[in-house]
Chain A
C-alpha cells in the first residue's frame, strides 16, 4: 500500500498543478467530456425512436444539472481551497481599494508599529542577546569578588586566586586570564599608541573564533620567559600592514620589544577590546595574593548554571577567609561570583534597553488595539454585505476565511512596509549611539533573520487576531434582522460597541504609560544637564600618554618628564595651564575602579564602619586650577609639596563630610593601606608608613560616566611625592580659545621632551561629557519618539472610533435635530462620548504607570517615577488631545442635515 501511495504522488501533484494552472483548459475539457456524453445519450435515444428534442431533454434530465455537475467535478479535483484563497486575496485587495483611507490608515499604523518594533528589536538583539558575536556568549563569564569591606567589586585578581578558580574543572570548561594593556607601537612612519590585551593561551580559543591567518598561542608561549609572539586584529593588519599576506613571522616593536606576528584574527573579533593580543605569561609559582592585576574569564560547562557556579565559588571564598582572613583582611566576607560577559560589557546601557523594549512592546499593543478598533468598526459596517452573502448561501466558515484573508492581506502589507521602514531607520538609530556604548560593532547591528521572523510573526498574529473577531461577529448575526434594518443601525450592537470602547480605553491607558515614561525621562535629563560636575569642562583638551617602563623605570623620571612636558605645553600661546592626572574624570563607566584603604590617625583602626577606603587620583599641583575645581577649605597643592617636603593630601567634599562631619578635616592625618583597581596604571605601587596631612578640601568631581551614580569619597595625592608613579596619565590643557586647534603644537611640545613618546585619545572635555550623556540622550530621544508615536496612534484610534460612531448615528442625530435638539447639545453628546473614554483610559493608565514605576526608576535621575506634577501634565495632555480628536467628528455631527437623513429612510 505504501509503495502504491508513493507511486501515485508524482501523478497526483501533476494533476493538481494542472488543475490549478491550466484551469480554463481543464474546464474546457470538462465541457467537451460532458457534451460527448450527452450526444451519445441523445444518439442512442433517437435510435430508440425518440424525437431529437425529447431525447435532448431526457438526456439532460438523466445527467442532472450540468453546472452543478461541473462544480462537483471541480470539487473532486481538490483545488477549491487554493482557488478560493486566490479569490479571497483578490477580493480582499478590492475591498481595500474601496475604502482606501481606512486601509491606508491601518497599513500605516501597522508599518509604524512593526517598523519601530523591528528596529528596536534588532538593536536589542545585537546588544542584549548578542547573537552576532561569540557563539558561546551565554556561558562566558567573568569571575570577580565582592568585598563587603570595600563595598565594591574587585575585578582584578591574583595568580593564586586564578589557579583556585581554575581547579573547579567540573564547573568551568575553561578558565583564562586577561589583562587590558596598551603599547607604543614603533617602527612605521609614526609611533602609535595601541590598545592590546595580554591573554592566557586558552583565552582566544575560548571564544571559539579561529584566526584567519596563522594560529593563536600555545601553552609553551604562555610561560614566563616564553618567546615574544603577538596575534593582531584584522583591523590593525589592514591599517598598519596593508593586509600583507606574508605578515606571519614579521616583527613588530611594542614598547621597544620585538614581537613576532603568529596570527591574525577576523574582523570584529573583540576579546577585551584592543587590536592585538600577547601571551600573559602568568607564573604559576607566584604566591603574592595581593598582586591583583588580571581579570578571570571562564566558559561554564554545558548545563552548569550561574547559581551552581556561584555556590562552588562561595566554598573557595570561605576557605580563603579561613586560611588567610587574619593576615589579609580583604578576604573577610569575600564573595566570589560569576558575572556574565554581556552584563560586564553592556553595563550602563542595559536598563535603558530594557525600558525601550518595554515601551516598544507597549507601542505594539497600542498599535494592535488601534488596528483592532478600526477593523472591528469596518467589520460592523459590513454586516449587511455579509448578511447578503450568508443569505445567498455562503457558509459561515467561508465568510470567516474570507475576512481572515482580508485582514491578513492588510497586516502582511503593513508588516512588509514596516520591515522596509525598519531597514531605513536602523542605521540612523545606530548612528545616534556613541560607539563605545555599543557592545558590538555598529555595522553588526542590522536586521537579521531572527528579527524578520519576529516581525512576520507579529504581522501574521495580528492579522489572524483582528480577522477572527469581526468575522465571528458577522457570521453570528441575525440575518433577517440585519437585512430588514438595512444594516445602518446594527453598528450600535452592544457587544461590538463595548469591545471597541474597551480597546480604545486600553490604547489610551498604554499611551499614558509611554508618555509618562518619556516625560519623566525629559525631566530627568533636564536635571542631569544641570548637574554640578565639580569642574568646568569648556576649553579643556585632554589626551593620554603612557611612559614605558623600559625608558622610565623610576618615579622621579616620570615626575621629571611630566614637569618638563607641562612646562613646554604651558608656554604655548593660547594655553592657560596644563596638568597631569592618573585618571581623568569620567574615564570609567559605572564605577570608579580606583580604591585605596586608609586609616585616620587618632581613631581606632577599625571603628563601626570597618576599614575606610576611597577613590584616589595622583595629580600635578596645577590640576585643580586647570580643571577649575573649587577649593572649599585649606589650600591646594603647590610646588612646596615636593619630594622631600612633608607628605600631604587633598580630600573631596564628600570625604570630608563623611569622616569629619564637624568640618574640621584640614590638619588631620591619614595613613594609606592597600590599594585596589586599575592596576595597569599603578604598576608596583608600594605602601608606606608615613602619614599624610590633609591640607585642603575641594568640591566633589563626577568621576564616572554614569553621572547619576552616587559620589564616592575621594582624595588627591601630589605626583612629586609618590614612590611609584602611574605610567598611564591623562594630560589636561586649559586653553583661552578653541582647544582643538592646539593639538599639533602640543605634539611638538611633547616631542621636544621625548621624540619617541606618542600621545593618544585626544579629545575635548566637552566631548567626554557629551559622551557620558550619550546613552541618556539616546533613551530620551527614543522615548520621546515612541511617546509621540503612541500619542498620535491613540488619538487617531479615538478619532476613528468617534467618527465611525457619528457616521452610524447620523439617523439618530438627524431625528434629534429634527425634533429640536440644539447643535451645541449634539456637539456635547459626541465630545462627551470621547472624553469619557479618554478619562477612563487616563485613570487606568495612571494605575499602570505607578505599577511600572519600579522599572523606570532605574534610569531616572533626580526625579521620582511617581512625580505628581509630571503625571498630571501627561494626563492633561492626553485629555486635550482626546478633545481635539473628538472635535472634528463632533463638528460633522452638527452638520447633519435632518431632512436628508429622514428622506433617505
Chain B
C-alpha cells in the first residue's frame, strides 16, 4: 500500500465540511469516515484535524454539541451551520472547477 496522500489545509476543511454535512459527527468518526469513503487513499492527519475543527467552529461554519456516542460515552458532535452549508456549496463548485481544469491540462499535454 502506497503512503496515503498528504492533504493540503484547504482540502481538509472541505472534506470536514462535506463529512459533517450528512449528520452530526465527532472528531474521531470524521477521520474514520474520510478514510473509509476515500478507500484509505485520503488520511487526515489527526494532529491537523482538531485545530481545523476548532478553527471552523470559530469561523461559524460548523457548531459543536456534546452528545452520547454509540457506546454511551460523552462526545463532541460537530454539525454544519446554515452559513457553513452555503460555504460548502461554493467551495464544492470551486473544487469542481479547479479539478476539471487540472484534468483538462493533464489530458491535453
**B92–chain A nearest beta-carbon distance, Å:** 15
Report the bound CA distance from A63 to B63 in whole Å: 22
**A354–chain B nearest beta-carbon distance, Å:** 56
Residues of A within 8 A of B71 (CB): 43
Residues of A within 8 A of B33 (CB): none
Q: Which residue of B lies closest to A74 (CB)?
A: B54
Residues of A within 8 A of B54 (CB): 73, 76-77
Report the bound CA distance from A725 to B45 in whole Å: 108
Indicate if the CB atoms of B76 and A12 lie closer than 8 Å.
Answer: no
Q: Which residue of A lies closest to B26 (CB)?
A: A36
**B91–chain A nearest beta-carbon distance, Å:** 12
Residues of A within 8 A of B76 (CB): 29, 32-33, 36
Name the interface residues of B51-68: CB closer than 8 Å to any CB of A: 51-52, 54-55, 57-61, 63, 66
Interface: B95 (CB within 8 A) = no
Q: Which residue of A lies closest to B82 (CB)?
A: A7
Residues of A within 8 A of B57 (CB): 15
**A182–chain B nearest beta-carbon distance, Å:** 74
Indicate if the CB atoms of A76 and B58 lie closer than 8 Å.
Answer: yes
Q: Which residue of B lies closest to A79 (CB)?
A: B58
Q: Which residue of B lies closest to A34 (CB)?
A: B50
Residues of B within 8 A of A9 (CB): 60
Indicate if the CB atoms of B47 and A69 lie closer than 8 Å.
Answer: yes
Interface: A41 (CB within 8 A) = yes
- B66-99 toward A: CB 8 Å interface, digit per residue (1/0)? 1001010111100001110011001000000000
Interface: A75 (CB within 8 A) = yes
Task: Check A12/B46 contact, CB under 8 A, given A36-B76, A37-B28.
Answer: no
Interface: A4 (CB within 8 A) = yes
Indicate if the CB atoms of B81 and A11 lie closer than 8 Å.
Answer: yes
Which listed residue, A4, A37, A77, touches B46 by the CB 8 Å rule?
A37
Indicate if the CB atoms of B83 and A4 lie closer than 8 Å.
Answer: yes
Residues of A within 8 A of B73 (CB): 36, 39
Report the bound CA distance from A73 to B55 in whole Å: 8
Interface: A78 (CB within 8 A) = yes
- The 9 residue pairs across chains A and B that have the minimum distance between CB atoms: A8-B60, A64-B47, A76-B55, A72-B51, A4-B83, A40-B28, A73-B54, A76-B54, A76-B51
Indicate if the CB atoms of A12 and B51 lie closer than 8 Å.
Answer: no
Report the bound CA distance from A5 to B28 in whole Å: 29
Indicate if the CB atoms of B51 and A75 lie closer than 8 Å.
Answer: yes
Indicate if the CB atoms of A8 and B55 lie closer than 8 Å.
Answer: no
Report the bound CA distance from A7 to B73 in whole Å: 33
**B44–chain A nearest beta-carbon distance, Å:** 11
Indicate if the CB atoms of B74 and A69 lie closer than 8 Å.
Answer: no
**B85–chain A nearest beta-carbon distance, Å:** 9
> Other than the known A36-B28, A43-B71, A76-B51, what 12 A-B pairs have Cβ atoms closer than 8 Å?
A7-B60, A7-B83, A32-B74, A33-B75, A39-B73, A40-B28, A62-B46, A64-B45, A64-B47, A69-B51, A73-B50, A76-B55
Report the bound CA distance from A15 to B76 in whole Å: 16
Residues of B within 8 A of A69 (CB): 47, 50-51
Indicate if the CB atoms of B47 and A12 lie closer than 8 Å.
Answer: no
Interface: B24 (CB within 8 A) = no
Name the interface residues of A158-213: CB closer than 8 Å to any CB of B: none
Residues of A within 8 A of B82 (CB): 4, 7
Name the interface residues of A64-120: CB closer than 8 Å to any CB of B: 64-65, 69, 72-73, 75-78
Counting contact residues on chain A (CB < 8 A from B), the size range is 20 to 34
Task: List 5 interface pairs A-B (beta carbons < 8 Å), by A numbering.
Answer: A5-B83, A7-B82, A8-B81, A8-B83, A15-B60
Residues of B within 8 A of A63 (CB): 46-47
Number of A-B contacts (CB under 8 A): 79
Report the bound CA distance from A43 to B54 in whole Å: 25
Indicate if the CB atoms of B46 and A64 lie closer than 8 Å.
Answer: yes
Name the interface residues of A1-31: CB closer than 8 Å to any CB of B: 1, 4-5, 7-9, 11-12, 15-16, 19, 29
Name the interface residues of A296-314: CB closer than 8 Å to any CB of B: none
Residues of A within 8 A of B27 (CB): 33, 36-37
Report the bound CA distance from A34 to B74 in whole Å: 12
Indicate if the CB atoms of B63 and A33 lie closer than 8 Å.
Answer: no
**A299–chain B nearest beta-carbon distance, Å:** 56
Report the bound CA distance from A715 to B28 in whole Å: 108
Report the bound CA distance from A663 to B87 in whole Å: 104
Residues of B within 8 A of A11 (CB): 60, 63, 81
Report the bound CA distance from A268 to B52 in whole Å: 65
**A302–chain B nearest beta-carbon distance, Å:** 49
**A56–chain B nearest beta-carbon distance, Å:** 15
Q: Which of A39, A64, A69, A76 has the most CB of B within 10 A?
A: A76
Q: Which residue of A lies closest to B56 (CB)?
A: A76
Q: Which of A19, A37, A39 has the most CB of B within 10 A?
A: A37
Report the bound CA distance from A64 to B31 in whole Å: 15
Residues of A within 8 A of B75 (CB): 33, 36
Report the bound CA distance from A40 to B76 in whole Å: 13
Which listed residue, B47, B52, B58, touches A77 by the CB 8 Å rule?
B58
**A38–chain B nearest beta-carbon distance, Å:** 9
Residues of B within 8 A of A39 (CB): 73
Name the interface residues of B6-50: CB closer than 8 Å to any CB of A: 26-28, 45-47, 50
**A827–chain B nearest beta-carbon distance, Å:** 63
Name the interface residues of A753-786: CB closer than 8 Å to any CB of B: none
Report the bound CA distance from A7 to B59 in whole Å: 11
Indicate if the CB atoms of A78 and B58 lie closer than 8 Å.
Answer: yes
**A20–chain B nearest beta-carbon distance, Å:** 12
**A32–chain B nearest beta-carbon distance, Å:** 7
**A46–chain B nearest beta-carbon distance, Å:** 13
Report the bound CA distance from A135 to B33 in whole Å: 72
**A549–chain B nearest beta-carbon distance, Å:** 85
Q: Which residue of A lies closest to B61 (CB)?
A: A8
**B58–chain A nearest beta-carbon distance, Å:** 5
Report the bound CA distance from A29 to B75 in whole Å: 10
Which listed residue, A15, A40, A43, touches B58 by the CB 8 Å rule?
A15
Report the bound CA distance from A19 to B59 in whole Å: 13
Residues of A within 8 A of B46 (CB): 37, 62-64
Report the bound CA distance from A43 to B69 in whole Å: 14
Q: Which residue of A lies closest to B52 (CB)?
A: A76
- A606-638 toward B: CB 8 Å interface, digit per residue (1/0)? 000000000000000000000000000000000
**A508–chain B nearest beta-carbon distance, Å:** 55
Indicate if the CB atoms of A36 and B51 lie closer than 8 Å.
Answer: no
Report the bound CA distance from A16 to B60 in whole Å: 11
Report the bound CA distance from A43 to B29 in whole Å: 13
Residues of B within 8 A of A40 (CB): 28
Indicate if the CB atoms of A36 and B69 lie closer than 8 Å.
Answer: yes
Report the bound CA distance from A424 to B51 in whole Å: 54
Report the bound CA distance from A43 to B72 in whole Å: 14
Residues of B within 8 A of A75 (CB): 51
Report the bound CA distance from A655 to B58 in whole Å: 89
Report the bound CA distance from A230 to B52 in whole Å: 79
Report the bound CA distance from A4 to B89 in whole Å: 12
Task: Check A12/B60 contact, CB under 8 A, given A37-B28, A73-B54, A76-B55.
Answer: yes
Report the bound CA distance from A32 to B27 in whole Å: 12
Report the bound CA distance from A1 to B81 in whole Å: 14
**A52–chain B nearest beta-carbon distance, Å:** 16
Report the bound CA distance from A75 to B52 in whole Å: 11
Report the bound CA distance from A32 to B73 in whole Å: 11
Residues of B within 8 A of A34 (CB): 50
Residues of B within 8 A of A19 (CB): 58
Q: Which of A29, A72, A78 has the most CB of B within 10 A?
A: A72
Report the bound CA distance from A34 to B54 in whole Å: 12
Residues of B within 8 A of A64 (CB): 45-47
Residues of B within 8 A of A1 (CB): 90
Report the bound CA distance from A63 to B90 in whole Å: 31
Residues of A within 8 A of B26 (CB): 33, 36-37
Residues of A within 8 A of B69 (CB): 36
Residues of B within 8 A of A73 (CB): 50-51, 54
Report the bound CA distance from A69 to B82 in whole Å: 28
Report the bound CA distance from A819 to B90 in whole Å: 81
Q: Which residue of A lies closest to B50 (CB)?
A: A73
Report the bound CA distance from A11 to B73 in whole Å: 27
